Amino acid sequence: MTVDILKIVFILIAVFFIYKLIFSKNQGYTLMKMQFKQGRLVSHKGKIQDKFLRECKALAKVEKTTGTLRAYRDGTVRLHISASINDSLAQRMRNMFPFEYYEHKQVDMSKKRG
């Protein structure tokens, strides 16, 4: 009886882990995230270069856009722009995005000993 229960528990745990591996939404380490609603910046997270932030806010205000812009590191730096942002605006944001700002490795100086 207890052997059957242990087998069932083991199978359930295995199914859970397989499900998590297959359907995981995590695409990589998120560097920054900006959310726009009706042309206004609603929230932002991460380190965002000031010039890029100003230009994106101005573009979103003119276009009255709603959507999300997210940069993440998955080997290289990638930019994900939600589908609700039209293609021309998305391309302009991609052209302005400072990839070189996020691509260099940041060294933690507090851990270095001199």
Count of structural domains within the chain: 1
Decide if 33 is inside a domain.
Answer: yes
pTM of the model: 0.65
CB 85 within 8 A of CB 44: no
CB 8 within 8 A of CB 1: no
Decide if 66 is inside a domain.
Answer: yes
Q: How confident is the model at residue 96 (pLDDT cuts 50, 70, 90)?
A: very high
Structure tokens, 60: 């979103």
Decide if 75 is inside a domain.
Answer: yes
Decide if 109 is inside a domain.
Answer: no
Query: In this prediction, what percent of the chain has a pLDDT beyond 70?
Result: 86
Decide if 1 is inside a domain.
Answer: no
* Domain range enclosing 68: 29-103
Report whether pLDDT(58) > 90: yes
Decide if 87 is inside a domain.
Answer: yes
Tell me the three state secondary structure of residue 105. coil
Decide if 55 is inside a domain.
Answer: yes
Structure tokens, 91: 């391309």
Decide if 80 is inside a domain.
Answer: yes
